[in-house]
Amino acid sequence: MSFFNELKRRNVFKVAAAYVIVGWLIMQAGEVMGPALRLPDWINSALAFFLILGFPLAIFFAWAYEMTPEGIMKDKGVDQDQTIANVTGGILNRTIVIALVLALAYISVDKFILDPKRDAALLESVQTEAVQAVDITDPDFAAEDKVPDSKSIAVMPFMNMSSDPEQEYFSDGITEEVLNLLVKTPELKVTSRSSVFSLKGQNLDIPTVAAKLGVAHILEGSVRKAGNRVRITAQLIEASSDVHMWSETYDRELVDIFAIQDEIAQEVVKALHVQLLGDTPTATTTNVEAYQLYLRGKHLATLGTRESRESSVTAYQESIALDATFAATWEGLSTVLRYQALSGDIDMQEGMEAARQAAMHALELDDELAVAWTSLAAIQFDYDWDWAGGEASTHNALKYGSQNARVLRNATWVALTLGETEQALMLAQLAVDLDPLDYSSLRNLGTTYWALSQLEDEERVYRQFLELYPENASVESWLAASLARQGRAEEGLQYLDFDSDNGWQRAMSTIVLHNLGRHGEEQPIRQKIIDEDGQYWAFGVVLTYSWHGDSDKAFEWLDIAINKKEYFVRQLIYNPWLAPLHDDPRWEKTLDKVGLLKYWNKSKARREEAEF
């Protein structure tokens, strides 16, 4: 008898199958019952350890022993003519079938009943935080007008004290890494990177900085790097009294950089008397040289030029060559590749596929990396038009990064795309509360008010934006269009540049001029949009034809935009300038073509219910 047949006769395969399925069910029961019984987190790890340990023992006993009417006996001592292995096999078959039925039932209940409830609970939790964080009835909700949370903090850019100015990327990177560690502490409210870095070099005093950012505490410091040594000084300051609560100087080898970050985070948590629900988060470690390249890649990515993006990709790739197990590097590479594709630096398909692979690789290494889920969701929405997949990835991003402004901004766009406008407003407001001085967060909130046609709020956000970023032509044109929709088109003229070569600014100009009845001035600008912008932005031509009542041309160009898979097609449900097309029979057919019809119908039903 062959070895394989002997394994079958002794029911080894059936024992293995039964053990794996039953073991999996036991682990699921542990995950459910552990939190309910308030068991420590290590219980499930211990359970998994003993189940894995027991597997080879089960296989050994299946091979060496056999069930008989007289009890368990060694297989060699059993007369093969009297064996009841076939009876035991039948029992195992029934056990496997019952276990499989239970497993399938659990998976079905988890996926179709529990999963949607968990997602709904997650989004409700994020929305509740947004409502608590921002009073939407307050016309002046800027951070400096609110009493800061006692557990709020901003990590200001650490000063570069190195002799080489080129090392600034390192001090900035350390700042951001400490900030990211603190963000992982749910009990803390941590201002996001964009806002704190917008104040870099302004020499503002601590109370002023804290007022602008709406926080009760400031963490500041300096970094001096020389060769393989690094000196980091950090100090925590209570803003209201300008008193130092804690300070420390770390003079270490560069290999200790991760331990220093951990210690700073732990000391901040301790000084603020934060009652942790879990352990203080710790930094993920990597090769020191790879880490410096990772920080350099992040720095270059923020510069926003074609050349800096290319250099960022190179830095990330060199970092990966030294250590391919650092998830954050893969996520950074994914983000830059996606921007390269959207900016036309590289081929769209090639860039998006490379970005997808990098994001997936990051998640294989760390499936709780919120920004990696956000990167994947952005690809699924911007390029794949995989709305369900992108929504699921966004829920995962929120699960692991509900206090991350970038995650919240992307979730806002996802909610808008799928017609969840009220949900989008909650997410956008929370992003602003975490990142009150950030360009993207404010624009995000203004766009959400625009989609909801809450025009006074839209105007207020754009004016707040222009206080922070004066003479921003892009936002000035949006403000002009908002004023026009409020019947104040004449007032909006001062914010327009009629000679602009920017497609959006041209579109805003036509809206304002059309509202004023100045069609002679409007027509040449409209023609420029069609002749010049239409080559790469067909959706812009759709907007101008829609707003001016030419539905046939609007749908003709909409087909072009869809066939070119233009990014802006994701605006179909929420863009108010497309409202004139909504009653046309071609509208729902178009939505169905891109997979958005079911979301449109849900959104429409909610609006009708609200009106009723």
Q: pLDDT digits over 266-284, tens only?
A: 888 888 877 655 667 777 8
pLDDT of residue 243: 87
Q: Are 75 and 24 in contact (CB under 8 A)?
A: no
The owner of tokens 């570069």 is 160
More confident residue, 166 or 464: 464
What are the pLDDT digits (tens) for 461-505? 999 999 988 878 889 999 999 999 999 999 999 999 988 888 889
More confident residue, 566 or 279: 566
Give the whole-angstrom CA distance, residue 557 versus residue 530: 10
- What DSSP string describes 203-246? ---HHHHHHHHT-SEEEEEEEEEETTEEEEEEEEEETTTTEEEE
Q: How far are the Cα atoms of 117, 517, 535 from residue 560, in angstroms, in the given order? A: 39, 29, 10
Domain ranges of the chain: 3-118, 143-283
Is the pLDDT at 148 greater than 90? The verdict is no
pTM: 0.73
Is the pLDDT at 242 greater than 90? The verdict is no
Average pLDDT over residues 311-316: 96
Domain 143-283 is of which CATH architecture?
3-Layer(aba) Sandwich (3.40)
Is the pLDDT at 327 greater than 50? The verdict is yes
Q: What is the 3-state secondary structure (H, E, C) of 356-375?
A: HHHHHHHHHHCCCCHHHHHH
Most confident of 127-131, 330-334, 348-352, 537-541: 330-334
pLDDT of residue 544: 87
pLDDT of residue 127: 47
Q: For a pLDDT cut of 90, what percent of the chain falls above it?
A: 49
Average pLDDT over residues 22-42: 67
Burial grade of 441 (CB within 10 A; 0-12, 13-18, 19 or more): buried
Average pLDDT over residues 564-576: 91
pLDDT band at 36 (very low <50, low <70, confident <90, very high): low
pLDDT of residue 464: 92
pLDDT of residue 108: 63
Q: Is 453 helix (H, G, I), strand (E, B) or coil?
A: coil
Average pLDDT over residues 399-420: 93
pLDDT of residue 72: 55
Average pLDDT over residues 450-464: 94
pLDDT band at 594 (very low <50, low <70, confident <90, very high): very high
pLDDT of residue 28: 76
Give the whole-angstrom CA distance, residue 559 versus residue 534: 13
Amino acid sitting at position 261: Q
